[in-house]
Structure 1
Amino acid sequence: MGFAAPMKFRTSALDITTRLFWCTKLVVLICLFTPPAFAEASKVNLQLKWHHQFQFAGYYAAQAKGFYKDAGLDVNIIEGGPGKPALDAVLNGSVQYGISDADVLMAHMHGKPVVAMAAIFQHSPFIIISREDSNIHRLADLMGKSVMMKHDLSAVQFDAMMLKAGLDPTSVRFVTHTGQLDDLINRKVDAMAAYATNEPYRLRARGVEPAIISTIDYDVDFYGDTLFTSRREIETHPERADAFLKATLRGWRYAFDNPEEIANLILQLPGVKQSGATQESLLAEAKSMRPLVMPDIVDMGHMNTERWSHIAQLLVRLKLAPDSYEPRKFIYHYATTPNTLNTRWIAFGVAATLLCVMLVILWNVQMRRQVRMRTEALHAEIARREQTEAYLKISSRMARVGSWVLSLPEKTLYWSEEVLDIHECPPEFAPTLDSALAFYPEEWRSRIVQALEECLQKGDSFDEELPILTCKDKLLWIRIIGQAVYDLHGNITRIEGAIQDISAQKVAESRIQHLAFYDSLTSLPNRQLFIDRLEHTLAYSARTSKSGAVLFIDLDNFKTLNDTMGHDLGDMLLQQVAMRIAGCLRESDTVARFGGDEFVVLLHELSGNHQEAAAQARLVSEKILISFAHPFQFSGYEHHTSASIGVTLFDQQPTTVDEILKRADLAMYQSKAAGRNVIRFFDPEMQALIADRVEMEEDLRNGLRNDEFFLCYQPQVDNQGRLLGAEALLRWRNPKRGMIPPSTFIPLAEDSGLIVSVGNWVMYAACKQLVLWAQQPLTSSLTLAVNVSAKQLRQMDFVDQIVEVLNVTGANPKRLKLELTESLMVNNIEDVIAKMTELKNIGVGFSIDDFGIGYSSLSYLKLLPLDQLKIDQSFVRDVLTDPNDAVIARTIIALGKSLNLQVIAEGVETLSQREFLDNYGCDAYQGYLFSKPVPADEFERDVVQTFEHF
């Protein structure tokens, strides 16, 4: 009992002392950290580049955790979005700070007073995303496709990628970016510009697997999400800029250390949940940001002048910025002017220190308690960091990346376990600077030595991709980055950085390059690479007296092999052809495949003498033809083929790639016309003919539009001399060229594809004539024969077209006879029979035109719903003088009789010819003996009246 009172007294005294201590401490804190009444928190505005998402987590963390408030700032965070560029807002003064991309640099290059303060993304998050099932995996796959693109730096990065890949951006069809993934999911566009941090996740969440084309794959790596301000803000409020930047970077570090907390914070922001964001999607975004921001490898917000200069040079190459630019006054450096606000705090704190002296004893009482609490917190922090380091080591091993440090002035080198593993060195290996440099092949070593020297002397950071030979003599590609570290006096004390194994990436790049420049079937250079080499050869020839040559090689009858034996054998033939052509060339020459069965050869450094160069080119061409003389073997099948070769020479005289290829192509067609398996050199006269052919093709198109065509009619009579009908023959009267014979314009129409339009016109005109004849007693029973081309008959809707013409004109189908050539029977005979049968059922008749000069299989002939065979005039012409023609004519008549078909002979010009054919049972005749082809009015006036007397 005697000790109870004193104990109670001491407890009460300690309790009072504690309370007094905390009250006093509160007073001290208020004195030290509450600024004077006139120094209120500085209000600033920060505009984001887009809507709220984890992409801007650091700014939310700095605001929510009070880092801005601790720095004396009242920060208002404003959302960005379409039509609200942060760059404009900063420049017009409505906000002090903004987030944008490298377009800040572009603005500075055009004289705008902007300053880059920090780059959050060390690697560009910009990607081109498409559906995996769209088969778009590289830039070349976007040719002719639609791409949704923003009109900002996204388009700049895309153009830079296309430039790196050697592709033309105008070959892509751009669509204004709506920001809606549905446009891609529903295939309204083929691809879209996106961010690697969230769009792939959102696409997968919708059940669509994405395909990604990254800027990094094409060596286009801009800084991303750059924090920037105006030169006015730096000059007028240097202490505020310092405070804002430090608080922001502190916020970013907190955000990456506590992603779950910040994700929940973002979900409370206006509009976030409504956009469909969840904690899972925000954490997925945070995870995908980490390798782009690299918070564990480089300082948060890191930037260097050299990389900005590299980006600037790329913008200059794209003609988006002026030449001769140096990014001076563009990168922000911490202000050195005194902080007047802190000065006031310190002055005010001096007064408060006097009060602290009175409370030293009470402070010491609490010190032990504070030490204990801080020790416990320190142990917890150590445990957390050890766990983080363990996770980081696992990540580093998986990513094949490790750290290194070069300490100065001793130049001692430290490698992490991951770097030792990349170099395939034993754990006990102690690297030195010399032994580390020895891993680089001699021809590459100078680059890393120069980078280290510039870092030591100037403090320049470096980022290089180099090959190494490991301790086990394995060739790898690594990416090595390094930066200088300074002491308080501004002296460089060490260089530190990271090394990453990028061998897999290099293999992928090599594969992409091979796909872009080489033919996948033959592994020969493709058109793009060939044109590039031809341009270099032209430049070389212009500087020297050397000549060159281009050989255009086209396989003869390649389509027949594909159609009869299948595409697999066709591909095998192309592969063997590629090897044989390559075997005939020098190492300095180039052979490329342009597609299909077209190969092109570039002969380099031929003689400066034109005749000698031609002889050299001919020698190579003959070697190629000779190599084709041996049959090609395909697993038990033997195939013979030949080639047609067109050759053109070039020298120091100015010319273009397109002109050279056009000449070689024309020469190849001249070779085809000469009978194939021959060599032809380019002939200027041939070019003139081709130019005239192109002009005539355009005249042919205009002729259809301007109603320059008309029909003539040649009578067909029976063996009693009675008029049966006529054949409709097309004629063309051109205002400039006059009457153009069918033998000139019909082949042109066939080659150009206009024969379908011409054939439709003829069918309408013929059926209209049948309707007119049906209205007159003398012509109402006549039939009209109309020629049908192969391309017409192959039209899927050929039958529907004929039926429509008959319905529109009102012509009697029983008076219409379609004349088909034998060549139509070669391919897809089942389709031909089906179409003929369908028309036959409504009354249309059929005749085989020019019978005997083409290909006819009797087994097919008996299946065709024919009415008539027409003996070609080439047999009728010499039927009295050539025994062979006589036999053929008799055989055709006999064949027709046996198949119960009518037989008509065309080209009958003499009575003797008619009598000969009549003796063997020919049923009808057509030719100049009866009448030449005449217009409709003359046919009705003269021909019909003449045959009425028979």
Structure 2
Amino acid sequence: MIHLFKTRRLALGLAFSLCFCFKLFAQDTVRLQLKWNHQFQFAGYYMALEKGFYQQKNLNVEILEGNKTASPPLDAILNNEADFAISSSSVAIYRMEGYPLVALAAIMQTSPLVWITLKDKDFATPHELIGRKLPVLTPNESAELLTVFRMEGLDLKQINFINHRATVDDLINNKVDAINGYIANEPFLLDKLGHQYNLIRPKNYGVNFYNDVLVTHEKFAKNNPEIIENFTAASLQGWQYALENIDETISIIRNKYAPNKSLEHLLYEAKVIQSLIMPELVQLGHMNPGRWQFIADTYKELNLTQGDNSIEGLIYTRPKADLTWFIHAIVLSLVIILVLLVITWRFAYLSSTLKREISRRQYAERKLIKANNELKAQASSDPLTQIYNRRAFFDKGQSIVRFATRKNYPMSLLMIDIDYFKKINDQYGHAAGDLALQKVCDCIKAEVIRSHDIFARIGGEEFAILMVDCDLQASENVADRIHKRIQELHIPWKNSQSFTLTVSIGIAPVTNELSESLTQADIALYRAKQNGRNCHFTYIDEDEKDVV
């Protein structure tokens, strides 16, 4: 009987040990739903799997290819068909409509979505697509492309939408007049087939949203914070590797995921995708709460959603941990410290004196660091508007110009001047003038300034914006948006008064020397002033004249 008891106890102990070891080494299995077929667009996730980054985080990841029969990515999460998905900025629409989705990382800082038409059809603007046959997916999937028409003041009812996915063949065979596609894919196919085409890019019409956003369910994120953070970190590590090792990545994708795609096609796609991610300018996966709010406000303003919910909580944050054990540990530590203090009372005075001296020096060091930081801030920022001053504009701007020139990124410089600013000071006083400068600055920052742009006050009522990855056409669209928002701006003053104002804008391309471009923008600004103000001019160097 005793022997049997010992045998059972040994078996139970062995079983418990095996269960513990299994739990220790078991991997968490998760599913990632792609938004389309296998291609370089999802290279970071392939490399995270192939290079063992997921396995290092104790994750077993299944990558689900998107296709015609698969559920849309966000629906796949809501229907528990996937744990993670790749989506567009339309996740903000879902959030406003009450769906519990959270964004973990935005891979593409600029969207690849474009409308594509054939050159011989001569449909090159949104207005020219009125009455034409256009394929469109659900509003949530096509929200960004639909926004282009709304931004141009067009009624979507004027366009003949066809509810299905169209291909390059459909465009060539005149089944549709335009297709919605990716700038990294369909243009390559059309080039290969010998067809010239037009690209209607949303960002040229003020629609520059995030894309390929990594998304999960809010409940899943709340219950599995370690899985969420491990999966996100491993995925971004995979993207870093993919962008730094493009040839190896393309070879793996073609051999294991997309054998039907040529090496030439994958290389073309890789270069375009890299320019949309902009890893040299923006941290991989970066998301700005203000930009998300602007995206949500744009969708709502253009009636692409009827949802009234806030997007608060859209960006993932780790749940707060239960600190009860920590408090208990602190209490226990304090008791132990008190006991030790009683035992070592003879050394208490020397110990406290030493601590006071250390604290005094730390306090002095913190004060010195704070003073140095304040001096640095004062040297580089304008005290009234809290943006860069003229000195910082040239210091930081010239380094950005050199970098962008090496990478062949287009750059533009906008010089903005408040019209009749002296009249504001004369009529309302200098306090009103200061308020006007602050309001104009806040309006411009909220409307057009991106994380890698340089925005500075370079004179009394003069501002300058250095915009990277922005050609002259795009900068003129930016100027139009600034004029519109400034004209809508009503600045409150005493006794329920308010006043309005306008601005004049000079635009110039940026080449090598920032000072030279600033001079050209100043010439264009002078022409805008001559033309009656509240307008913008663009400096064209080769013609040696300015054009509106």
TM-score by length of 1: 0.36
Q: For 1:138 and 1:314, how far apart are their aligned partners in 2?
A: 20
Q: Among residues 393, 405, 417, which one is paired with 2:398 in the alignment?
A: 417
In structure 2, what is the equivalent of residue 42 of structure 1? Answer: 28
3-state SS of the aligned residue for 1:299?
coil
Post-superposition shift, 1:266? Answer: 0.8
3-state SS of the aligned residue for 2:135?
strand
In structure 2, what is the equivalent of residue 327 of structure 1? Answer: 311
Q: For 2:454 and 2:129, how far apart are their aligned partners in 1?
A: 28
Q: Among residues 288, 293, 296, which one is paired with 1:312 in the alignment?
A: 296
Instruction: Return the letter of the residue paired with 1:155.
Output: S
Q: For 1:475 and 1:111, how far apart are their aligned partners in 2?
A: 40
Post-superposition shift, 1:332? Answer: 0.8
Cα 1:508–1:315 shift into 2, 3 Å: closer
Q: For 2:402 and 2:38, how far apart are their aligned partners in 1?
A: 41
Q: Among residues 46, 51, 64, which one is paired with 1:65 in the alignment?
A: 51
Instruction: Return the letter of the residue paired with 1:311.
Output: I
Q: For 2:111 and 2:454, how far apart are their aligned partners in 1?
A: 17
Q: Deviations over 1:689-710 (max 9, x none)?
A: xxxxxxxxxxxxxxxxxxxxxx
In structure 2, what is the equivalent of residue 56 of structure 1? Answer: 42
- The correspondence of residues 204-215 of structure 1 with structure 2, limited to 5 A, is 204-215=191-202
Q: Deviations over 1:664-704 (max 9, x none)?
A: xxxxxxxxxxxxxxxxxxxxxxxxxxxxxxxxxxxxxxxxx
In structure 1, what is the equivalent of residue 89 of structure 2? Answer: 102
Q: For 1:97 and 1:171, how far apart are their aligned partners in 2?
A: 37
In structure 2, what is the equivalent of residue 597 of structure 1? Answer: none
Cα 1:325–1:461 shift into 2, 3 Å: farther
Count matched residues.
370
Q: Among residues 199, 207, 211, which one is paired with 2:186 in the alignment?
A: 199
Instruction: Return the letter of the residue paired with 1:43.
Output: T
Q: For 1:201 and 1:461, how far apart are their aligned partners in 2?
A: 29
Instruction: Return the letter of the residue paired with 1:478.
Output: L
Cα 1:335–1:511 shift into 2, 3 Å: closer
Cα 1:134–1:246 shift into 2, 3 Å: same
Q: Among residues 273, 277, 291, which one is paired with 2:259 in the alignment?
A: 273
Q: Deviations over 1:691-745 (max 9, x none)?
A: xxxxxxxxxxxxxxxxxxxxxxxxxxxxxxxxxxxxxxxxxxxxxxxxxxxxxxx
Post-superposition shift, 1:202? Answer: 1.4
1:164–1:218 CA contact under 8 A, matched in 2: yes
- The correspondence of residues 859-938 of structure 1 with structure 2, limited to 5 A, is none
- The correspondence of residues 282-321 of structure 1 with structure 2, limited to 5 A, is 282-321=266-305
Instruction: Return the letter of the residue paired with 2:120.
Output: D
In structure 2, what is the equivalent of residue 710 of structure 1? Answer: none
Instruction: Return the letter of the residue paired with 2:475.
Output: K
In structure 2, what is the equivalent of residue 707 of structure 1? Answer: none
Cα 1:442–1:62 shift into 2, 3 Å: same
3-state SS of the aligned residue for 1:266?
helix
In structure 2, what is the equivalent of residue 82 of structure 1? Answer: 68
* Structure label with greater radius of gyration: 1
Cα 1:503–1:101 shift into 2, 3 Å: same
Q: For 1:333 and 1:249, how far apart are their aligned partners in 2?
A: 17
1:440–1:468 CA contact under 8 A, matched in 2: no
Q: For 2:107 and 2:116, how far apart are their aligned partners in 1?
A: 22
Post-superposition shift, 1:256? Answer: 0.8
3-state SS of the aligned residue for 1:93?
coil
User: Which moved further from structure 2: 141-150 or 56-65?
Assistant: 141-150
Cα 1:246–1:53 shift into 2, 3 Å: same
Cα 1:301–1:422 shift into 2, 3 Å: closer
1:477–1:503 CA contact under 8 A, matched in 2: no
Post-superposition shift, 1:335? Answer: 5.3
Post-superposition shift, 1:477? Answer: 5.9
Cα 1:57–1:505 shift into 2, 3 Å: same
In structure 1, what is the equivalent of residue 466 of structure 2? Answer: 478
Q: Among residues 117, 121, 142, which one is paired with 1:134 in the alignment?
A: 121
In structure 2, what is the equivalent of residue 526 of structure 1? Answer: none
2:32–2:83 CA contact under 8 A, matched in 1: yes
1:306–1:461 CA contact under 8 A, matched in 2: no
Q: Among residues 221, 224, 229, which one is paired with 2:211 in the alignment?
A: 224
Over the aligned positions, Cα root-mean-square deviation in angstroms equals 3.7
Q: For 2:374 and 2:241, how far apart are their aligned partners in 1?
A: 32
Post-superposition shift, 1:461? Answer: 7.6
Q: For 2:53 and 2:227, how far apart are their aligned partners in 1?
A: 13
Post-superposition shift, 1:96? Answer: 0.9
Q: For 1:138 and 1:439, how far apart are their aligned partners in 2?
A: 27
Q: Among residues 177, 191, 199, which one is paired with 1:190 in the alignment?
A: 177
Post-superposition shift, 1:260? Answer: 1.0
Cα 1:419–1:41 shift into 2, 3 Å: closer
In structure 2, what is the equivalent of residue 815 of structure 1? Answer: none
Q: Deviations over 1:172-207 (max 9, x none)?
A: 211233342101112221111111111111111111
Cα 1:129–1:500 shift into 2, 3 Å: closer
Give yes or no for the alignment of 1:143 onto 2:130.
Answer: yes
Post-superposition shift, 1:246? Answer: 0.5
Q: Deviations over 1:838-876 (max 9, x none)?
A: xxxxxxxxxxxxxxxxxxxxxxxxxxxxxxxxxxxxxxx
- The correspondence of residues 684-833 of structure 1 with structure 2, limited to 5 A, is none
Q: For 2:374 and 2:458, how far apart are their aligned partners in 1?
A: 26
Post-superposition shift, 1:152? Answer: 4.2
Q: For 2:90 and 2:319, how far apart are their aligned partners in 1?
A: 24
Post-superposition shift, 1:245? Answer: 0.5
Post-superposition shift, 1:65? Answer: 0.7
Post-superposition shift, 1:107? Answer: 1.4
Q: Comparing both chains, which one has the higher relative contact order based on Cα–Cα distances under 8 Å and sequence gaps of 6 or more? A: 2
1:451–1:462 CA contact under 8 A, matched in 2: no
Instruction: Return the letter of the residue paired with 1:99.
Output: I
Q: Deviations over 1:628-673 (max 9, x none)?
A: xxxxxxxxxxxxxxxxxxxxxxxxxxxxxxxxxxxxxxxxxxxxxx
In structure 2, what is the equivalent of residue 880 of structure 1? Answer: none
Q: For 2:181 and 2:445, how far apart are their aligned partners in 1?
A: 39
Q: For 1:211 and 1:330, how far apart are their aligned partners in 2?
A: 35
Q: For 1:157 and 1:453, how far apart are their aligned partners in 2?
A: 22
Contiguous gaps of at least 5 residues in structure 2: 1-19, 323-371, 381-391, 405-413, 420-435, 482-531, 533-548
Q: For 1:215 and 1:148, how far apart are their aligned partners in 2?
A: 16
3-state SS of the aligned residue for 1:141?
helix
Q: Deviations over 1:757-779 (max 9, x none)?
A: xxxxxxxxxxxxxxxxxxxxxxx
Q: Among residues 456, 461, 474, which one is paired with 1:505 in the alignment?
A: 474
Q: Among residues 171, 178, 182, which one is paired with 2:158 in the alignment?
A: 171
1:120–1:301 CA contact under 8 A, matched in 2: yes
Q: For 1:452 and 1:141, how far apart are their aligned partners in 2?
A: 30
Instruction: Return the letter of the residue paired with 1:78.
Output: L
1:161–1:220 CA contact under 8 A, matched in 2: yes
2:95–2:310 CA contact under 8 A, matched in 1: no
3-state SS of the aligned residue for 1:38?
helix
2:114–2:199 CA contact under 8 A, matched in 1: yes
Instruction: Return the letter of the residue paired with 2:22.
Output: A
Cα 1:279–1:501 shift into 2, 3 Å: closer
Instruction: Return the letter of the residue paired with 2:184.
Output: T
1:137–1:211 CA contact under 8 A, matched in 2: yes
Cα 1:258–1:320 shift into 2, 3 Å: same
Q: For 1:461 and 1:220, how far apart are their aligned partners in 2?
A: 13
Cα 1:419–1:145 shift into 2, 3 Å: same
Cα 1:447–1:283 shift into 2, 3 Å: farther
